[in-house]
Chains A and B, each alone.
Chain A
Amino acid sequence: MFINSNNLSAFINDARVRNIGFQVLIIGALAFSVWWLMDNTLTNLENRGKSLGFGFLVQTAGFEISDTLGTWLFDYEVGVSSYTDIYFIGITNTLLIAVLGIVFASIIGFGVGIMRLSNNFVLKYFATVYVEIIRNVPLLLQLFFWYFAVLGVLPGARNQLEIWGGLGGLNITGLYLPAPIFQPGFGLVFLAFIASLIIAFVASRISKKKQDETGQGFNLLFIIPALIISITGVTYVIMGSPLDWTFPEFKNTGPIFKRGFQDDAGMVLVPEMLAVLLALTLYTAGFIAEIVRAGIIAVSHGQTEASYSLGLRPSITLRLIVIPQAMRIIIPPLTSQYLNLTKNSSLAVAIAYPELVSIFAGTALNQVGKEIEMIFMVMSTYLIISLITSFFMNWFNARVKIVER
């Protein structure tokens, strides 16, 4: 076919063709940069006598890690556990902080956010001052502050602050609490608990559907807890009470280092963890409070007035009218805050809490020297966590989203 210059011109000026050309250019440039970086890296590694590989993951680790959920869950033992265990211990401890932090920060954040809109000036100004201070001071600084403030006020290692008459105790080495010991058969009790939750969920769905159709539902307020307790409880009894507790033990006699709380009794939350949790929770709560406040303010005042004129009380108005609408505005930035909290937990490295960056990309990295592999693993882990959180929050967002006309 004959192509004259007009056709060519039309071809080149076609927006689609240009777009494709532009994109091909981008892909080419990208591929080249990636190749260039990889080539450099491989050359450099070869020159330095190092190789890539994940063989280090099966080596055993020779350093102690302080008692945390991770070490307990993976039964950490020096000289036996491998670097893979270290990796998972790190993830566990990171996730523990992230999950607890998200829960507490949400509770405090919502509370403070509503306080800021209160017509009680004491609460309002307290909340305002709190939010302004927390949001305008770097987290790392707050982390140091809380850690050394926490250490400063706690009783020394040979003293304790008793909690609930010896059920628990607190001193500078940590918060000691009763620890569960799972006997064989506890798994079934747990399964029963899950099953009862599912039943309760289904029941509430049915009830809601019935209410939507007929305007009458069952009153599930007491039925659901009763259901859960009875199913779990019955299984528990049948399995022969497969759950024991050990209680913290405090000694005042013996060799000096044996005094204080004993290692093998109860469980301990180390002060590093408490400080990280405190700092992250308070910090993120400050941001969540602002998000909640902005979300509530954004709900048209007419909605509140309409609700009042229908005779609904302020608390019900807040719960049934304002918050559901505000949630739509709140959730996207809230997701960001949750992700930030998870990522910020990596700052815990500064105060010796054994999370992923600290023990895997820190201590372990120093023992085996596989920078590229280990940093790659750590970054991918955080990416996956954040993608999962995003995914879950997007799903939740889609559910609470008001269907627009």
Chain B
Amino acid sequence: MTQNSHNSVFVRKVDAETLPPPQNEMGIRGWLWRNLLYSVTDYSSVSAALRSLAMIFFTVLVSYVGLTQLWLLLDFVFFSAVWSDPTGIKREACWTLSQGGTLPDDWHAACWPFIFAKLKFLAYGPYPMDELWRVNVTGLLGLAGLCWVLIEALPYRRLVGVLMLTAYPVIALILLTGGASEANYFNATAYIFVGLALITVGRLGQRDLLGIVASDFASIIGFVGWSLIVFQVLMLIFSVDVGLKPVGTGDWGGLMITLVVAVTGIVVSLPLGVILALGRRSNMPVARLLCTIFIEFWRGVPLISVLFMASVMIPLFLPEGVNFDKLMRALIGVMLFSAAYMAEVVRGGLQAIDKGQYEAAEAMGLTYWQSMRQIILPQALTHVIPGIVNTFIGLFKDTTLVSIIGLFDLLGAGKSAIADASWSSPVQAISIYLFVGFIFFIFCFGMSRYSIFMENKLSKSRSH
């Protein structure tokens, strides 16, 4: 029985010849089949046919809309645009016949000479002409440092990163403002001595020389002492007259102010957001409640009413005569706002960490801060890199709102350029908006690409 059946079974002794893949799986045809035709060629049943027909309709519609819009854009930006104003007639260079210009009446395209004329204003705002090199140096230093930190092949990335977070802001601030602020040397010296005293107390406390009570708060006292000294030394550094002409923040503007607000906001909102997120998950009810209220408040109110308050109402809440720089207030508003969003992103990351990680850290005898710093946060933050970068991008875009409160950021500078009567034409506004939109796009798109790159790299390294 078995013998018989065995005989009747065909057993191949030689491998069959490998056939090439079906024609429609290869080359352009294959690509088209997979990426287009597959979805529109199923007519096996009524519903499938309907679906395919609907798909064809959509595909055609979308191609038509997409291509016409693309053509309109290209035509507006390049082909029909006015590129130069050789005779210096300004707005008349972009006027149609009926307005008294030379262009045909149905002409509607970008007016580039206007943008070229305003380029400097869009980049620096009313920053004094002779001092522009300071902005450029600051920008180039920042760019170089950033590239160094982001490109992985370079050595000393950690060192450069630390310098970027510590020395660079100081240099940038001195370069941009000109330093030479007023300082009270007596007070500064006094505060430095207080700081030294605090550090000493902290040290003594840590060695249990002051009894139990002090030992508990020794590290906090030491920290306060260090902060005080660093703060006062910085104030002294800022007061050094390095021979630069002082430029008040009122003279800042354009892309420069956008970058200052965005970069400061980005650098500060992340640590602040982490602290808030930890606070919201803390087991101390008061801290939890406060952090929750703080986060929900900032997430709940519109940024423009916050900025309205920051720009014109702050002096009402402070003692007579005390005031802040307007840019600083806008900065604080934007920072707190994005810190709240950041906190929610980070909280998402914290929640995604397996409970075992927390327990393992605790079992190892690590303190709360140790376990957070060494175990939990590194994992949590890598989990939510896309969310963090999205918050950065959101913050970058939100900087446009400072134009509503009278700071000439990139959009504000654009709007004030539109108000220039010597260039007024029907395409003036849309030219500026397209240009400004393009600049924003470059920055935000760049950030999002880098985040995708990082994400891919990390997910690869995780799976290995």
- When A and B assemble into the complex, do they touch directly, with CB atoms less than 8 Å apart? yes
| Binary B-proximity of A2-24 (CB < 8 A = 1, otherwise 0) | 00010011001100001100110
Question: How far apart are the CA atoms of A37 and B313 in the complex, in Å?
Answer: 12
Is A138's CB within 8 Å of the partner chain B? yes
Shortest Cβ distance from residue B10 to the other chain A in the assembled complex, whole angstroms:
29
Q: Are B317 and A339 in contact (CB under 8 A)?
A: no
Q: Which residues of B contact A136 (CB under 8 A)?
A: 393, 397, 440-441, 444-445, 448
Is B43's CB within 8 Å of the partner chain A? no
Contact of A121 among B36, B308, B403 (CB under 8 A): B36
Is B155's CB within 8 Å of the partner chain A? no
A383/B302 contact (C-beta < 8 A), A138-B397, A361-B308 known: no
Q: Are B436 and A141 in contact (CB under 8 A)?
A: yes
Q: Which residues of B contact A382 (CB under 8 A)?
A: 300-302, 305
Q: Are A386 and B316 in contact (CB under 8 A)?
A: no
Is A349's CB within 8 Å of the partner chain B? yes
Q: Are A346 and B302 in contact (CB under 8 A)?
A: yes
Q: Which residues of A contact B299 (CB under 8 A)?
A: 336, 339, 386
Contact of A119 among B35, B400, B403, B445 (CB under 8 A): B35
A357/B302 contact (C-beta < 8 A), A45-B316, A123-B58, A315-B51 known: yes
What range describes how many residues of B lie at the interface?
A: 35 or more
Shortest Cβ distance from residue B34 to the other chain A in the assembled complex, whole angstroms:
7
CB closest chain-B residue, reference A389 = B300
Question: How far apart are the CA atoms of A41 and B317 in the complex, in Å?
Answer: 5
Shortest Cβ distance from residue B276 to the other chain A in the assembled complex, whole angstroms:
14
Question: How far apart are the CA atoms of A308 and B404 in the complex, in Å?
Answer: 54
Contact of B300 among A120, A140, A142, A387 (CB under 8 A): A387
Is B296's CB within 8 Å of the partner chain A? yes
Is B401's CB within 8 Å of the partner chain A? yes
Question: How far apart are the CA atoms of A310 and B107 in the complex, in Å?
Answer: 60
Q: Are B430 and A145 in contact (CB under 8 A)?
A: yes
Identify the interface centre among A45, A121, A142, A357: most chain B CB within 10 Å of its CB: A121
Per the CB 8 Å criterion, the residue count for chain A at the interface is 63
Q: Are A371 and B411 in contact (CB under 8 A)?
A: no
Is A44's CB within 8 Å of the partner chain B? yes
Q: Are B36 and A357 in contact (CB under 8 A)?
A: no
Question: How far apart are the CA atoms of A305 and B309 in the complex, in Å?
Answer: 55
Question: How far apart are the CA atoms of A27 and B59 in the complex, in Å?
Answer: 61
The dominant DSSP class at the A interface is: helix
Is B55's CB within 8 Å of the partner chain A? yes
CB closest chain-B residue, reference A11 = B212
Is B285's CB within 8 Å of the partner chain A? yes
CB closest chain-B residue, reference A148 = B429
Q: Are A41 and B297 in contact (CB under 8 A)?
A: no
CB closest chain-A residue, reference B304 = A346
Chain B residues 10-34 with CB under 8 Å of chain A are 34
Q: Are B296 and A140 in contact (CB under 8 A)?
A: no
| Binary B-proximity of A53-72 (CB < 8 A = 1, otherwise 0) | 00000000000000000000
Chain B residues 422-450 with CB under 8 Å of chain A are 429-430, 433, 436-437, 440-441, 444-445, 448
| Binary B-proximity of A356-379 (CB < 8 A = 1, otherwise 0) | 010001000000000110010011
Shortest Cβ distance from residue A335 to the other chain B in the assembled complex, whole angstroms:
10
Question: How far apart are the CA atoms of A140 and B39 in the complex, in Å?
Answer: 38
CB closest chain-A residue, reference B401 = A140
Q: Are B441 and A47 in contact (CB under 8 A)?
A: no
Question: How far apart are the CA atoms of A216 and B55 in the complex, in Å?
Answer: 34
CB closest chain-A residue, reference B444 = A136
Identify the interface centre among A118, A126, A378, A387: most chain B CB within 10 Å of its CB: A126
Shortest Cβ distance from residue B430 to the other chain A in the assembled complex, whole angstroms:
7
Is B194's CB within 8 Å of the partner chain A? no
Is B150's CB within 8 Å of the partner chain A? no
Q: Are B286 and A23 in contact (CB under 8 A)?
A: yes
The segment from A127-135, A156-164, A206-214 that touches chain B is A127-135
Is B9's CB within 8 Å of the partner chain A? no
Identify the interface centre among A129, A137, A371, A372: most chain B CB within 10 Å of its CB: A137
Q: Across chains A and B, which 8 residue pairs bring their CB atoms closest together, nearest first?
A: A136-B444, A23-B286, A346-B302, A121-B35, A386-B300, A138-B397, A383-B300, A138-B400
Show 20 residue pairs from A and B whose CB-CB distance is below 8 angstroms, ordered by the A residue: A5-B212, A8-B212, A19-B284, A22-B287, A40-B318, A44-B315, A118-B39, A120-B39, A121-B35, A122-B36, A122-B59, A126-B66, A138-B397, A139-B397, A145-B433, A145-B437, A343-B300, A350-B404, A371-B316, A386-B300
